[in-house]
Structure 1
Amino acid sequence: MRKMDFFAQSDFTAKFEWGYEGVEQVGKDSDIVVIVDVLSFTTCVDVVVGRGGVVFPYRVKDDSAQTYAYEKNAILAGRRGDPISLSPVSLSSIPQGTRIVLPSPNGSTCTMLAKHCGGRVIAACLRNAGAVARYIRQQGGTVTVIASGERWPNGTLRPAIEDMIAAGAILEQLSDHSLSPEAQIAVGAYRTAKDTLLPMLLQSGSGQELTSKGYSEDVRIAAALNVSENVPVLNEEFAYEDMK
């Protein structure tokens, strides 16, 4: 057995891993890869598709992103504080059917890596955890849920508890799948937090960071469990659209 095979969770049909390497090492053999980035990207995706829009993931916000948005006849989202950004609040009143390019170093980048895995790619968060779990049960096959996490200043992965909690909210409902030990731990994290989601997220490192910058309402939107029936699936145009 090759060394990396020990970490592939290949004996199980529901798996859990973190970040870029998790997508590439575990997601590659899955029929479905679920990307979770609760306090920014995937909650924003849920908000946009809930208004009939589509989201084009993109790794970075630079001149190439502006060109890409022009090619896609889409609006380029900015940073938090801009009128349209990686802030769910900023997207909650966009016109119906808006097409948005959403750069993100975590959720968008994991999405772009996942597209090479060959399976369906879904954007999930706490808001649509139940809807995504139902979709996975209907589709069958193997699934890997990726907690995107955040980045330390040196660029390395910073595990973010909100992403593990949301992953667990999905995995808990996959009773017809066999859960890897990693997936079972994510379920345990969700069960610990499920009755105190909002205070847990507000008190987390990521939540405190956003609150200190004036974005506590983004945390509140992200902490709402199962309020959405959206199932954003990456389509042939490489955009997330609702496929419920």
Structure 2
Amino acid sequence: MICRVTSPYAQDGFGIGFEWGPVGAGVVAGDIVAVVDVLSFTTAVTVAADLGIDVYPYRWRDETAVTYAEQYDAKLAVGRSEAGPDDVSLSPVSIRRVTGITKLVLPSPNGSTIAKLLSDSGATVLAVSLRNRRAAAGWVKKHGAGRKVVAIAAGERWKDGSLRPAVEDLWGAGGFLSALQGDNLSPEARAAVAAYDAVADELPALLHECAGGRELTQYGFGEDVAIAAEVDGSDSVPVLEGGTMFRST
């Protein structure tokens, strides 16, 4: 008889889990996985979904991204700092003002990368932010009976490439899990819920004052933080279809 030892990091035995970053997404498996990148990938995806725009996540913004966008006849988002008035970027403001597009390739080193990694796992992948955390939880309650749910906070990167846990993603993931009102949460998931519940009455002010919010504001993208802080402002639930595009259900 072969005895298989389960990883202590997998949060097995719990119906609802929580972890950080691409490595965590690979360790804590779920039937339904909510990717949370509040500043700004999943916020941008929800803004696009509100407008009926399908979003194709992509890891790098390079020549391969150009070819990828051409393959799907989609608009390729440019870098935030290089975007002109008619361009689309990771900035939710740029997406909200755009007209005439229905498909968008949106490169992102964090949330988009995790979504692409999960696309081969067989999990149902949702794009979740503070804007749609309640709507996404409602979708899971309707479609996820008996299925393990995991929230993955994307986090950011320090200059040395290591993961920087970003509190806005902790709040986004915790807000989604809190709205689920489920039981059988892993200790990690309970901690995320507690983090959100502790600040829920102080959002959006705290989103502007956290490190990520201050960084974007410093670079002139304070309006993006304001959009990310539209708690429960969206009813869209973008689901990754065919491993290639987020489309709101």
Q: Which bin holds the TM-score, normalised by the shorter protein?
A: over 0.9
Residue correspondence of structure 1 range 119-198 to structure 2 within 5 A: 119-139=123-143, 140=145, 141-198=147-204
Q: Which residue of 2 aligns with 1:40?
A: 40
TM-score (norm 2): 0.93
**2: CA distance between counterparts of 1:32 and 1:219?**
27
Q: Which residue of 2 aligns with 1:220?
A: 226
Helix, strand or coil: the match of 1:172? helix
Helix, strand or coil: the match of 1:34? strand
**1: CA distance between counterparts of 2:55 and 2:224?**
18
Question: Deviation of residue 173 (structure 1)?
Answer: 2.2
**Deviation per residue, 1:57-89 (Å, 9 max, x gap):** 000000000010001100110111312101000
Unaligned runs of 5+ in 2: none
Q: Which of 10, 13, 19 is the equivalent residue of 1:11?
A: 13
Question: Deviation of residue 2 (structure 1)?
Answer: 6.5
Moved over 6 A (4+): 1-4
Q: Which residue of 2 aligns with 1:74?
A: 74
Helix, strand or coil: the match of 1:15? strand
What amino acid sits opposite 1:11 in the alignment?
G
**Deviation per residue, 1:130-184 (Å, 9 max, x gap):** 0000111112211110000000111111000000101111111223441111001
TM-score (norm 1): 0.95
**2: CA distance between counterparts of 1:163 and 1:182?**
14
Question: Deviation of residue 53 (structure 1)?
Answer: 0.7
Q: Which residue of 2 aligns with 1:209?
A: 215
Contact 1:131 1:228 in 2 (8 A): yes
Unaligned runs of 5+ in 1: none
Contact 1:164 1:186 in 2 (8 A): yes
**What is the RMSD computed on CA atoms of the aligned residues?**
1.4
**2: CA distance between counterparts of 1:75 and 1:91?**
11
Helix, strand or coil: the match of 2:171? helix
Q: Does residue 92 of the first structure (1) align with residue 96 of the second (2)? A: yes
Contact 2:56 2:246 in 1 (8 A): yes
Helix, strand or coil: the match of 1:136? helix
Question: Deviation of residue 97 (structure 1)?
Answer: 5.1
**Deviation per residue, 1:65-123 (Å, 9 max, x gap):** 00100011001101113121010001102226521100000000000111122120000
Q: Which residue of 1 aligns with 2:121?
A: 117
Contact 2:131 2:231 in 1 (8 A): yes
Between 167-176 and 129-138, report the one with greater CA deviation: 167-176
Q: Which residue of 2 aligns with 1:234?
A: 240
**2: CA distance between counterparts of 1:177 and 1:46?**
27
Cα distance 1:96–1:143, how it changes in 2: closer, same or farther (>3 A)?
A: farther
Cα distance 1:3–1:233, how it changes in 2: closer, same or farther (>3 A)?
A: same
Cα distance 1:176–1:199, how it changes in 2: closer, same or farther (>3 A)?
A: closer
**2: CA distance between counterparts of 1:99 and 1:2?**
45
Helix, strand or coil: the match of 2:52? coil
Helix, strand or coil: the match of 1:145? strand
Helix, strand or coil: the match of 1:113? helix
Give the share of equivalent positions with the same residue, in percent. 45
